[in-house]
């Protein structure tokens, strides 16, 4: 025996199902400042990468011998990691500024690139011997900032700041 009042058999149930639209929570007023600073930081990284790739043999010859040796012995995988780090970081920052959740994946890719690049710098090359303790400040800053951007993007996703 079938129940004619059940929802499956109801003839007046012709309205389409309305799916809730994703809500974007209120974004803090400082969000845009952080996104712009992140973009500028990562664009500086892109400029550093492009500058390194554009170095002519004459420019390399003007460096101290120890730096020339570092430059000449950098493997392609470390250079590729540098490229991933800066370009994914710049695209992630742009996505962050546009409030797109894709920023998280891009920042993770950037962070992985940073870790691979810095692994080479810290453990394979003799960059510490060439640049000394002062040469560790920028690489450590790069690692910390890349990590903070991953966490910031995760916070944005968890707080539903992005579309």
Nearest to 27 by CA among 106, 104, 95, 96: 96
What total of structural domains would you count in the chain?
1
Name, in order, each residue with C-beta under 8 angstroms of 9's C-beta and a sequence gap of 6 or more. 2, 3
Question: 108 lies in a domain?
Answer: yes
- For range 45-57, the mean pLDDT: 96
Given this model, what pLDDT does residue 129 score? Answer: 82
DSSP annotation of 6 reads S
pLDDT of residue 127: 84
Q: Is residue 6 part of a domain?
A: no
pTM (two decimals) = 0.81
Residue 118 belongs to a domain: yes
Nearest to 160 by CA among 17, 23, 12: 23
Could you tell me the residue range of the domain that residue 78 belongs to? Answer: 31-158
Q: Tell whether the model's pLDDT for residue 23 goes beyond 70.
A: no
Instruction: Calculate mean pLDDT across residues 70-86.
Output: 95
């Amino acid at each position: 025996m079938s129940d004619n009042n059940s929802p499956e058999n109801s003839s007046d149930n012709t309205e389409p199902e309305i799916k809730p639209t994703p809500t974007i929570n209120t974004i803090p007023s400082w969000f845009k400042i952080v996104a712009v600073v992140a973009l500028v930081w990562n664009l500086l990284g892109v400029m550093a990468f492009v500058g390194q790739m554009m170095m002519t043999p004459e420019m390399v010859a003007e460096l101290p011998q120890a730096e020339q040796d570092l430059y000449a012995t950098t493997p392609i995988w470390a250079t590729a990691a540098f490229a991933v780090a800066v370009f994914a970081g710049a695209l992630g920052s742009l996505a962050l500024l546009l409030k797109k959740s894709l920023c998280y994946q891009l920042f993770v890719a950037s962070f992985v690139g940073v870790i691979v690049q810095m692994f080479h710098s810290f453990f394979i090359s003799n960059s510490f011997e060439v640049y000394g303790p002062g040469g560790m400040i920028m690489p450590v800053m790069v690692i910390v900032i890349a990590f903070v951007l991953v966490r910031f993007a995760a916070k944005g996703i968890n707080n539903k700041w992005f579309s």
